Amino acid sequence: MKASLPVTNHMETRPDIDPTPEPKKKLKKVNKGFKQLAVYIMLILFASAFVVPFFWLLSGSLKSSSELFANPPVWIPEVFQWSNYKEAFTSFPFLLYFKNTLIIVFFTCVGAVMSNSLIAYGFSRIEWKYRDGVFILVLATLMLPFQVIMVPLFLIFKDIGWIGTFYPLIIPHFFGNPFFIFLLRQFFIGIPKELSESAKMDGASELTIFLRIILPLSKPILATVVIFQFIEAWRDFLGPLIFLSDNRLYTLSLGVQQIMSENDPRWALLMAVGVAMTLPVIIIFFFLQRYFIEGITFTGSKG
């Protein structure tokens, strides 16, 4: 909150600040070009800071072992060691783990979209008593550290015979996630009430309104939910580790470590799997990003 405090002061002193005198019109165009250039330079600076570690991963995955540890660092390997990838994929059951990961990712995405949109509808488009109180409860559940409920959860799943299956990783996603409920609720609130009301006049039920009116309008935010859920399930490590007890059900994020031997970790191969796990998501994100950003709303002014 430190960041916001100075801002608060600025806000309070706003009336004291004199608006700067109007600049000359001629300068404006030059100014604009100048501004754009400045934005570009800063963007490129920041972007390189963000991309360098990933570039390092990428180049590391193509290096020979002597290049990996060269000092000063080698940025672009002399010969691309594509064999690192081949070796990485064959040193653990990549395809099997990839398949398992996809299954989990797919069903959790479906679960997240289905359950959270229903729930968010109940928290935004229907007025009922205690609604906002219950919603605060939803937000409170965001704070639970997984480690604490991990063991009791394990016991529940064990009692219903789910340990060693994908169910513990999938089924809970069909029962809502506070983060998604919040995002969707904000979006739904922004959809004009009149749409629902006129449908109600025509005798539509809440479910019909939800399916026919709200959902079709909500694709951008649903895309957001899909992406976030995708990434979460794609990277999850502790969940699969605890709940899966069969190598054949393992996911990629668990398998990555299998490359490392205590007595001979193969760094380049590890980097290769890291790249292989990251690239597909980057591509998906690239295509979905526009809807993704459109979808998130805080003020409810979109729709």
Size of the site for another protein (CB under 8 A): 153
Q: Which is nearer to another protein, 36 or 82 (CB)?
A: 36
| Torsion of Cα atoms, 123 then 126 then 128 then 132, to 10° | 30
Smallest distance from the beta carbon of 62 to another protein, in angstroms?
A: 15
Phi, psi of 14 (to 5 degrees): -50, -45
List the interface residues with another protein, window 228-257 (CB under 8 A).
228, 231, 234-235, 237-238, 241-242, 245-250, 252-254, 256-257
Q: Which is nearer to another protein, 80 or 258 (CB)?
A: 258
**Using the rule CB under 8 A, which residue among 87, 118, 167, 189 binds another protein?**
118
Question: For residue 286, how many other CB atoms are within 10 A of its CB?
Answer: 9
Which string of DSSP letters, residue by residue, matches 240-258?
HHHH---GGG--HHHHGGG
Residue 34 contacts another protein per CB under 8 A? no
Residue 74 contacts another protein per CB under 8 A? no
Token couple for 261: 């031997």
Part of the chain binding another protein (CB under 8 A), chosen from 35-43, 82-90, 191-199 = 35-43
Smallest distance from the beta carbon of 105 to another protein, in angstroms?
A: 7
Contact (CB, 8 A) for 61 and 48? no
Part of the chain binding another protein (CB under 8 A), chosen from 7-15, 79-87, 191-199 = 7-15
Residue 30 contacts another protein per CB under 8 A? no
Residue 82 contacts another protein per CB under 8 A? no
Contact (CB, 8 A) for 213 and 199? yes
74: left (phi over 0), alpha (psi -120 to 50) or beta: beta
Part of the chain binding another protein (CB under 8 A), chosen from 81-89, 191-199, 283-291 = 283-291
CA–CA dist 279, 302 (Å, integer): 32
**Using the rule CB under 8 A, which residue among 64, 87, 165, 204 binds another protein?**
165
Contact (CB, 8 A) for 67 and 74? yes
Part of the chain binding another protein (CB under 8 A), chosen from 78-86, 92-100, 191-199 = 92-100
**Using the rule CB under 8 A, which residue among 24, 30, 132, 148 binds another protein?**
148
Q: Which is nearer to another protein, 7 or 79 (CB)?
A: 7
Distance of CA 221 to the CA centre of its chain: 12
Which string of DSSP letters, residue by residue, matches 208-224?
HIIIIIIHHHTHHHHHH
Smallest distance from the beta carbon of 69 to another protein, in angstroms?
A: 5
List the interface residues with another protein, window 185-204 (CB under 8 A).
none
Contact (CB, 8 A) for 108 and 175? no
- Cα 196-180-152 angle, rounded to 5 deg: 130
